[in-house]
């Protein structure tokens, strides 16, 4: 009987140990499954990170290429612009084959005493006339503005170049009404009010110059000729 009890106790112990081993194996199996899922997630995350890095590297390379191209274009533009300025203001004299600089580029006129260059835009076709805003836009494209007349000498020069032809007798200058005040395109006020005596400064009004007359206030949407101005080159 003692032997049987011993064998029974041993069997119970073995059964208990076997159950513990089974539970441990289940725990290990679950832990392994979790680890395997984590490894899969890490692998996926690493692949995604690698793809993002590759995308960023590609974007960086594209930005570098764009920047390089912009720098090259900028250099070409400035070189071209500098060459244009030289050719415009200092053309080569065909007789001497040497450059001769002028205060104004070809197509612009000046009085050397006022150091300003003017382009008298004098189209004869009515469809080529411009509103004040359109005229200023044209001047801006020529690196200039509508004429800003400050001195008496400048006014005389501008008036002298406003002539009557085909009944088109007035030219836009850079003067318009802003909040009831006559202002130049550069933001300064008209100081010589006698040049516009009796003319309304109602909003929507702009000034035109007429040969040998005071300036006149007209609606800015009228179509007229125009005078552009830029600073003369010191030569």
The pLDDT tens digits of the residues spanning 185-229 come to: 999 999 888 888 888 889 899 999 988 778 899 999 999 999 999
| Gap between the Cα atoms of 203 and 213, Å rounded | 23
| Gap between the Cα atoms of 120 and 118, Å rounded | 6
Predicted pLDDT at 198: 81
Q: Which residues, in sequence order, are bridge partners of residue 170? A: 210
Predicted pLDDT at 105: 81
Indicate the helix (H) or strand (E) that contains 15: helix 2-89
Segment 73-87 mean pLDDT: 52
Q: pTM, whole model, 2 decimals?
A: 0.60
Could you tell me if 170 and 218 are in contact, meaning their C-beta atoms sit under 8 angstroms apart? yes
| Gap between the Cα atoms of 19 and 6, Å rounded | 20
The pLDDT tens digits of the residues spanning 156-196 come to: 888 877 766 556 578 999 999 999 999 999 999 998 888 88
Looking from the CA of 125 toward its CB, the CA atoms found within 13 Å total: 2
Lowest mean pLDDT among 3-17, 39-53, 197-211: 3-17
């Amino acid at each position: 009987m003692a032997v049987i009890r011993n064998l029974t106790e041993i069997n119970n112990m073995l059964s208990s140990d076997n159950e513990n081993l089974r539970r441990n194996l289940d725990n290990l199996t679950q832990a392994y499954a979790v680890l395997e899922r984590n490894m899969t997630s890490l692998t996926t995350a690493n692949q995604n990170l690698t793809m993002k890095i590759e995308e960023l590297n590609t974007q960086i390379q594209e930005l570098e290429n764009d920047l390089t191209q912009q720098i090259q274009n900028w250099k070409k533009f400035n070189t071209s612009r500098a060459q244009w300025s030289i050719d415009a203001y200092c053309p080569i004299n065909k007789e001497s084959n040497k450059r001769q600089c002028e205060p104004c580029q070809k197509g612009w006129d000046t009085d050397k005493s006022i150091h300003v260059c003017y382009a008298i835009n004098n189209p004869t076709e009515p469809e080529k006339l411009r509103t004040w805003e359109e005229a200023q836009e044209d001047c801006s494209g020529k690196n200039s503005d509508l004429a800003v007349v400050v001195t008496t000498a400048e006014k005389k020069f501008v008036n002298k170049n406003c002539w009557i032809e085909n009944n088109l007798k007035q030219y836009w200058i850079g003067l318009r009404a802003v909040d009831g005040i006559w202002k130049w395109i550069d933001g300064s006020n008209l100081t010589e009010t006698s040049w516009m005596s009796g003319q309304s400064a109602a909003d929507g009004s702009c000034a035109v110059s007429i040969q040998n007359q005071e300036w006149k206030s007209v609606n800015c949407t009228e179509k007229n000729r125009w005078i552009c101005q830029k600073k003369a080159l010191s030569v």
